[in-house]
Chains A and B, each alone.
Chain A
Amino acid sequence: MSSGALYNDQGGAEAAVEAGQENTPTTGGTGGTGAAFRLFNTDFKKNEDLKEMLESNKESLKLEAMKRVVGLIAKGKNASELFPAVVKNVASKNIELKKLVYVYLVRYAEEQQDLALLSISTFQRALKDPNQLIRASALRVLSSIRVPIIVPIMMLAIKEAAADLSPYVRKTSAHAIQKLYSLDPDQKEQLIEVIEKLLKDKSTLVAGSVVMAFEEVCPDRIDLIHKNYRKLCNLLVDVEEWGQVVIISMLTRYARTQFTSPWKEGFMFDDNEKTFYDSDAEEKKDQEETKPYTMDPDHRLLLRNTKPLLQSRNTAVVMAVAQLYWHLAPKQEVCIVTKSLVRLLRSHREVQFIVLQNIATMTIQRKGMFEPYMKSFYVRSTDATHIKTLKLEILTNLANEANISTILREFQTYVKSQDKEFAAATIQAIGRCATNISEVTDTCLNGLVLLLSNRDETVVAESVVVIKKLLQTQPTQHSDIIRHMAKLFDSITVSMARASILWLIGEYCERVPKIAPDVLRKMAKSFTAEDDIVKLQTVNLAAKLYLTNSKQTKLLTQYILNLGKYDQNYDIRDRTRFIRQLIVPSEKSGALNKYARRILLASKPAPVLESAFKDRERFQLGSLSHSLNSKANGYHELSDWPAVAPDQSVRNVDVIEPVKERAPALGKTRKNKSQDKFYSDEEDENEEEEEEGSESSESSSSSSEESCSESEEEEESEKSSGDSGKNSSSSEESDDSEQEEKKKAKQKKSKASADSGSDENGNGPVGHDSCSSAESSSESGSDSEDDSADSPPPQKKNANKSQSKVVMDNSKNQVSLLDLDDFSPVPVNTSQSSVLSPSLMSDLEGLSLSNMSPTLQVTSPTFSPVKTHELLHHMSGKGLSATYHFPRQPCLYQPSMVSVQLTLTNHSDQILEEIHVGERSPAGLSIHCFNTIERLQPEASVTVSMGIDFSDSTQAANFQLCTKEDQFNVSIQPGVGELLTPCTMTQQDFSKEQGKLMGMNETSATLSVSTAISSAHAVSNQVLSVANVGVVSSGSVSR
């Protein structure tokens, strides 16, 4: 408060000068005495005036007053005594007035806690407002009021808002968590619960904010992330920029604890033991799979999903991705960030500064990364000094035998810069280059010696210092240069440089036995005219020479010591006295005298010339700590890679685990449910299981246990889906009887595996990940919950209903696989995602809409098979191996094409160059080739996608895969299922289309399914693994 009072006073003074409409706040107490002083009196009145305005009935007056108050706050003046008048307006209808009052409240509530409480009820009311903007802003202000008494109210509000339907409000609640935590850290446990809940949120809007809250409140609770890891990775591209930064840095930390190191043993100096075991394991793998290291697919997922963000316009995002790659990616992949980082150098000066700092650290470890971009680090005359110094640092780090001459030529320019601080730094840089690259040491030394004749003192002093260091590191070849420097000695005037030369001659006097005494002689002559620092070194030189060559220099030394004894400077007198006692033998100083030689001529350790950025490696790149080179508050250390990867399944479990808490509750309701309700539950299962399947192949195995109990259903549905081309009426007939059987089966199952069933139930929302529209996802989430209550079990009724797309009653899911006639489109995974999303999938939907019949809507694939086929074995491909699989995504290039993903791996020990697609047959085959791969490093692999138009036939596509030297004939044979496109259409449309087909393109296949696998979902999985179809609520469509 004292500071407030201070400003207050200042304000008074300023207001008098500034005049205008400024109001100087005065405390109420001065009112009485104010009458005596006119100045204060008017101020007081002005304040009164504001108060009156605030209390008037006119909105415009109030608004005007508030604007002036905000002006005061902005200037840092105290306006706190207006609090009572302002707080009255908190419930105003005028939204701008209200906002300004909020600004005021947040600023002063901490100081006027009692009065602030008056406003709380208004916010509590606003929290229930139907307008989400008002709810959100009420929560924002409420949580910004730092009054400890309202902590419980805030807690309640946060909990409520976290469950709000509007993602914007949920986002606000994530922010409020941090505010509450800083106000009252005791609430941590409860807040973590809310965070846990919000982490499950699928909205891109919420993701960034909640991760921020996580980082602030409980950064160590890494276990909360497991289940959400994949979701966060997948959402990342669509999250707003600021959220991306936070999520990426959190995921970096996470990945370092969860995955094993992708770096080869050569790079792991620090942990020998670990390396040992790792390499063992790797060798074994080498033999088995010819792959040295297999990356966890989740690790790969993270790297893959962050890569596009390198193209972000937000420099912070690019930097975040760069540091992620630096800390997580295999060494050969880190290079992809180079280009983007260099791009950032064209941004604002401050951005350059930070990026250059990080590049400087990177160049110490990995020269090669930035070497091609060396010219981007050339200094411009317009750069600020700190930028210049950083660029110099990087250039020095980049120097090697090949480019040193270019760099040195560049350095020459810098030495002559008008910015002397920078010129001095350049000389040091030259010194470092000289020590690092032995080939140029001599050239550099000569150049530096030339610089000694420079007029500028800083340049000369710096050169001498650097030469001194260089000579110390190379003790063999001094004499020439020392002799040269001695020759130059007469022409050099800068005392610092003269002193340095004297030191050098003294230190290595034994190597220049003839010159040294001569220099001493000259110095004896000019001793009195020299600067102090030169005198000191002269004394040193004399002493050293006396010890090594006393015959020639004894008299000279005594002369100099005598001169020094009567010098005006006490330092020199002291030194002289000390030296005399030390070297000249006398009775008093016998003890020390013996060691004189060892003291004065001890070999001095050479100074180490290394980068100032050496020790910054310990900090995470891109962090504040790295920039400051000291640990900042709240910095989380990046842990070392674990020797053994922690259980990978924790992230798989993510699909099942969240339900565990809910399981008991659900289980109960289940048991109470009548049998009719079964079906609705079951459909949920179906859907979820399908989604699971698409999410990861591993998780699908977890559901196999429950599938045993439904053998019959399985068979039936298998049949129906098998001849989906025909109109299978048989399935309808058998419906009834089947239902009976199923019920029985289900009863058993529900008892046996109630848990697992309910698990899936809970997973519903997770499966909807890909819905990029936040609202739709929340709707669908709630839909599925409602379903169980109002879903009727009737199949036959449904069959007659024509259905709109939106209705997509989940209740029909179960029937779907049995009853082909009954068609209703279903919202599978991404089908809801809007056309507007920037992600590719939805673009394509939008595009393909235009060239297909209006009733045809391509659904996104519900299942992406992981099965890969071999295209080229590395034995026959001279080290190049290729595998392919069908990602089942709509082809980018043409709708008629099927997209194929090729993974090319180089198993040879040579770099493969110019990998491209060559001749193809049949001649008319249209292939959209991938871009030529310029080079593929040994052991590296690259995934490319291409489009092939199979013309709806299963004829194999033959083409040549060429490298620079060789050509390999390969062929891709598609399964018929891969040629299909999943579509959603109404029942009528389907029958119409089917009619057109007239059996021409009928394809049927029989699946041999063991009776053990019998659940509906298993069928769909089986079918999906063969054919690219979408899952529709009441039938699968193939065209």
Chain B
Amino acid sequence: MIHSLFLVNASGDIFLEKHWKSVVSRSVCDYFFEAQERATEPENVPPVISTPHHYLISVLRHRIYFVAVIQSEVPPLFVIEFLHRVVDTFQDYFGVCTEAAIKDNVVVVYELLEEMLDNGFPLATESNILKELIKPPTILRTMVNTITGSTNVGEQLPTGQLSVVPWRRTGVKYTNNEAYFDVVEEIDAIIDKSGSTITAEIQGVIDACVKLTGMPDLTLSFMNPRLLDDVSFHPCVRFKRWEAERILSFIPPDGNFRLLSYHVSSQNLVAIPVYVKHNITFREGSSQGRFDLTLGPKQTMGKAVEAVLVSSQLPRGVLNANLNPSQGTYTFDPVTKLLTWDVGKINPQKLPSLKGTMSLQAGASKPDENPTINIQLKIQQMAISGLKVNRLDMYGEKYKPFKGIKYMTKAGKSVSSYLFEFLFI
């Protein structure tokens, strides 16, 4: 399956390699570099590349390419999913997944990779198991290890590996038993020039941080489970129980994990939490263009819209923008023509606006397209779909845990309002 792994940084250097079968020369990456050169953006490098003797499957995360070398037929998603799992594990272990962090912890990285794959086939990818095999580096442990000469490699086979709950280790103990669930929803919408929604969907996840002693068996029920149209579960969730009763019943892994990701059925109308008033005009023959943008909240049920960030790719003809924000700061990159406006919190009494002029290239004809505007935002304490957790119960253990649930709505890369003119038809 997976033959070798190369980590390549943004500047095209291989800074780590690992082979699970016989050694593959790193010159195989030349094909990858070729493709990288051809691509205009780092994201445009094709994930699957064929070379005369090998196939390269790569993922790009945190500006590092993880290039897996394979020799024979294997489902590409298998490799891609695994590589992402590797990145997640690194992030879990080192907090960040950067070149520096990987270089600093090269031994742990190597030990991890060794455990995660055997002969190219995934062996242990469950974070709880790995953490029992190889303890994550902490400053304290590093110091203790240096002094006492003890190691951060576990000596016993993780109990989880053999049990029916491979995701949970046994003998977990906490003095404060707590279980936190974050319901995070993301709106993904395209809005046209006139403000009507072309497409909008809500995806959500429930991330959990469970620190409970022993082997708790939890059930989580919703007030309105019908909202959930399509779901995918952490393996711990009992599928049949969900199918029959719409109740999440599970023995949680220890620590942080993603319990559930869901999609809200598309029949429900999605309430877009903000509106945009815009007036972007270029006049024929003039070297000036007007830019006027106002944001306002709508349908937020009284919750504040925070961390608003507006970005827009202006047409190539724009030389510079001279704008005046009523709040926040803006930047315009004359090379990439990217305008970003960090708005912050929207005050419903005093709506944020960005007004001013754009100077155009002299003599150039009027830019023929209206720019797209991307908006990112956050709303705390509200799940936009209206999903509500009903109750959380625990069986199997006697103590009383502390339970907490948090809601949040985000518009990530998404709420992008496409502004366009109608061309034909």
Q: Does A773 contact B163, Cβ atoms closer than 8 Å?
A: yes
Chain A positions within 8 Å of B400 at CB level: none
Chain B positions within 8 Å of A350 at CB level: 47, 57-60, 80, 84
Chain B positions within 8 Å of A346 at CB level: 188, 203, 263
B408 at the interface (CB under 8 A from A): no
Q: Does B151 contact A63, Cβ atoms closer than 8 Å?
A: yes
B385 at the interface (CB under 8 A from A): no
Residue from B44, B61, B153, B422 in contact with A95 in the complex, judged by beta carbons closer than 8 Å:
B153
B121 at the interface (CB under 8 A from A): yes
Rounded to whole angstroms, the CA-CA distance of A447 and B229 in the bound complex is 38
Other A-B contacts than A622-B76, A627-B76, A838-B237, 17 sampled, CB-CB below 8 A, are A74-B17, A76-B14, A76-B17, A97-B151, A175-B118, A242-B121, A311-B239, A313-B234, A351-B80, A354-B80, A381-B313, A412-B423, A413-B418, A451-B423, A624-B75, A633-B73, A840-B238
Chain B positions within 8 Å of A375 at CB level: 198-199, 201, 266
Is the interface on chain B under 10, 10 to 19, 20 to 34, or 35 or more residues? Answer: 35 or more
Q: Does B48 contact A627, Cβ atoms closer than 8 Å?
A: yes
Residue-by-residue, is B256-269 near A (CB-CB < 8 Å gives 1, otherwise 0)? Answer: 00100101001000
Q: Does B15 contact A75, Cβ atoms closer than 8 Å?
A: yes
Q: Does A103 contact B114, Cβ atoms closer than 8 Å?
A: yes
23 contacting pairs across A/B (C-beta < 8 A): A3-B25, A60-B149, A75-B15, A103-B111, A103-B114, A131-B157, A146-B22, A167-B162, A238-B164, A249-B75, A311-B232, A354-B80, A378-B199, A416-B420, A418-B315, A446-B424, A447-B425, A622-B77, A623-B76, A627-B76, A634-B71, A834-B164, A836-B163
**Taking CB as reference atom, which chain A residue is nearest B239?**
A308
Within the complex, the shortest CB–CB distance from A1006 to chain B, in Å, comes to 37
Chain B positions within 8 Å of A850 at CB level: 395
Residues of A72-88 at the interface with B, using a CB-CB cut-off of 8 Å, are 73-76
A559 at the interface (CB under 8 A from B): no
Residue from B78, B199, B236, B313 in contact with A245 in the complex, judged by beta carbons closer than 8 Å:
B78
Q: Does A75 contact B16, Cβ atoms closer than 8 Å?
A: yes
Q: Does A384 contact B43, Cβ atoms closer than 8 Å?
A: yes
- Interface stretch, picked from A33-41, A315-323, A521-529, A569-577, is A315-323
Q: Does B238 contact A313, Cβ atoms closer than 8 Å?
A: no
A179 at the interface (CB under 8 A from B): yes
Q: Does A315 contact B111, Cβ atoms closer than 8 Å?
A: no
Q: Does A242 contact B217, Cβ atoms closer than 8 Å?
A: no
B34 at the interface (CB under 8 A from A): no
Q: Does B119 contact A175, Cβ atoms closer than 8 Å?
A: yes
Chain A positions within 8 Å of B422 at CB level: 409, 412
* SS class, residues of chain A in contact with chain B: helix
Chain A positions within 8 Å of B149 at CB level: 59-60, 63
Chain A positions within 8 Å of B414 at CB level: 380
- Interface stretch, picked from B275-283, B290-298, B367-375, is B367-375
Within the complex, the shortest CB–CB distance from A9 to chain B, in Å, comes to 14
Residue-by-residue, is B222-246 near A (CB-CB < 8 Å gives 1, otherwise 0)? Answer: 0000000111111111111101110
Residue-by-residue, is B401-422 near A (CB-CB < 8 Å gives 1, otherwise 0)? Answer: 0000000000001101010111
Within the complex, the shortest CB–CB distance from B298 to chain A, in Å, comes to 22
Chain B positions within 8 Å of A353 at CB level: 46-48
CB contact under 8 A between A412 and B425, given known A311-B239, A634-B72: yes
CB contact under 8 A between A70 and B50, given known A316-B77, A378-B199, A836-B163: no
Q: Does A351 contact B77, Cβ atoms closer than 8 Å?
A: yes
Q: Does B369 contact A418, Cβ atoms closer than 8 Å?
A: yes
Residue-by-residue, is B317-349 near A (CB-CB < 8 Å gives 1, otherwise 0)? Answer: 000000000000000000000000000000000
Within the complex, the shortest CB–CB distance from B280 to chain A, in Å, comes to 14
Residue-by-residue, is A290-328 near B (CB-CB < 8 Å gives 1, otherwise 0)? Answer: 000000000000000000100111111011100000000
Residue from A179, A238, A343, A622 in contact with B119 in the complex, judged by beta carbons closer than 8 Å:
A179
Residue from B21, B106, B258 in contact with A74 in the complex, judged by beta carbons closer than 8 Å:
B106
Rounded to whole angstroms, the CA-CA distance of A242 and B124 in the bound complex is 10
Residues of A565-599 at the interface with B, using a CB-CB cut-off of 8 Å, are none
Q: Which 4 pairs from chain A and chain B are nearest by CB?
A: A634-B72, A96-B151, A447-B424, A840-B240
Q: Does A378 contact B190, Cβ atoms closer than 8 Å?
A: yes
Q: Does A628 contact B55, Cβ atoms closer than 8 Å?
A: yes
Rounded to whole angstroms, the CA-CA distance of A843 and B396 in the bound complex is 12
Chain A positions within 8 Å of B73 at CB level: 623-625, 632-636
Q: Does A628 contact B230, Cβ atoms closer than 8 Å?
A: no
Q: Does A133 contact B164, Cβ atoms closer than 8 Å?
A: no
Q: Does A100 contact B107, Cβ atoms closer than 8 Å?
A: yes
Interface of A toward B, CB cutoff 8 Å: 3, 59-60, 63, 67, 70-71, 73-76, 94-97, 99-100, 102-103, 107, 110, 131-133, 136, 140, 143-144, 146, 166-168, 172, 175-176, 178-179, 182, 205, 209, 212, 237-238, 240-242, 245, 249, 308, 311-316, 318-320, 339-340, 342-343, 346, 348-351, 353-355, 375-376, 378, 380-382, 384-386, 405, 408-410, 412-413, 415-416, 418, 443, 446-447, 450-451, 454-455, 622-625, 627-628, 630, 632-636, 772-775, 833-840, 843, 846, 850, 892-893, 945
Rounded to whole angstroms, the CA-CA distance of A412 and B70 in the bound complex is 41
Rounded to whole angstroms, the CA-CA distance of A178 and B123 in the bound complex is 14
Rounded to whole angstroms, the CA-CA distance of A446 and B424 in the bound complex is 8
Q: Does B420 contact A412, Cβ atoms closer than 8 Å?
A: yes
**Taking CB as reference atom, which chain A residue is nearest B237?**
A838
Q: Does A385 contact B44, Cβ atoms closer than 8 Å?
A: yes
**Taking CB as reference atom, which chain B residue is nearest A408?**
B425
Rounded to whole angstroms, the CA-CA distance of A932 and B367 in the bound complex is 55
CB contact under 8 A between A178 and B119, given known A131-B156, A772-B164, A840-B240: yes
Rounded to whole angstroms, the CA-CA distance of A627 and B73 in the bound complex is 11
Chain A positions within 8 Å of B26 at CB level: 76
**Taking CB as reference atom, which chain A residue is nearest B246?**
A931
Q: Does B107 contact A67, Cβ atoms closer than 8 Å?
A: yes
Q: Does B81 contact A308, Cβ atoms closer than 8 Å?
A: no
Q: Does A628 contact B48, Cβ atoms closer than 8 Å?
A: yes
CB contact under 8 A between A313 and B25, given known A249-B75, A409-B425: no
Rounded to whole angstroms, the CA-CA distance of A748 and B122 in the bound complex is 54
Within the complex, the shortest CB–CB distance from B190 to chain A, in Å, comes to 6
**Taking CB as reference atom, which chain A residue is nearest B14?**
A76
CB contact under 8 A between A320 and B75, given known A353-B47, A450-B423: yes
Rounded to whole angstroms, the CA-CA distance of A888 and B146 in the bound complex is 61
Q: Does A633 contact B368, Cβ atoms closer than 8 Å?
A: no
Rounded to whole angstroms, the CA-CA distance of A1016 and B244 in the bound complex is 38
Q: Does B374 contact A382, Cβ atoms closer than 8 Å?
A: yes
Chain A positions within 8 Å of B238 at CB level: 838-840, 843
B165 at the interface (CB under 8 A from A): yes
Within the complex, the shortest CB–CB distance from A776 to chain B, in Å, comes to 10
Residue from B48, B84, B164, B425 in contact with A773 in the complex, judged by beta carbons closer than 8 Å:
B164
Residues of B7-27 at the interface with A, using a CB-CB cut-off of 8 Å, are 14-19, 21-23, 25-27
B358 at the interface (CB under 8 A from A): no
Within the complex, the shortest CB–CB distance from B232 to chain A, in Å, comes to 5
Chain B positions within 8 Å of A839 at CB level: 238, 240
**Taking CB as reference atom, which chain B residue is nearest A415?**
B423
**Taking CB as reference atom, which chain A residue is nearest B148?**
A60
CB contact under 8 A between A172 and B199, given known A96-B153, A447-B424: no
Residue from B59, B70, B76, B111 in contact with A99 in the complex, judged by beta carbons closer than 8 Å:
B111
Rounded to whole angstroms, the CA-CA distance of A131 and B156 in the bound complex is 8
Chain A positions within 8 Å of B399 at CB level: none
Chain B positions within 8 Å of A209 at CB level: 121
Q: Does B163 contact A376, Cβ atoms closer than 8 Å?
A: no
B109 at the interface (CB under 8 A from A): yes
CB contact under 8 A between A633 and B71, given known A351-B80, A375-B198: yes
B249 at the interface (CB under 8 A from A): yes
**Taking CB as reference atom, which chain A residue is nearest B312?**
A381
Chain B positions within 8 Å of A376 at CB level: 199, 201
Chain A positions within 8 Å of B111 at CB level: 96, 99-100, 103
CB contact under 8 A between A314 and B263, given known A350-B59, A416-B368: no
Chain B positions within 8 Å of A454 at CB level: 368
**Taking CB as reference atom, which chain A residue is nearest B115?**
A99
Chain B positions within 8 Å of A238 at CB level: 164
Q: Does A343 contact B162, Cβ atoms closer than 8 Å?
A: no
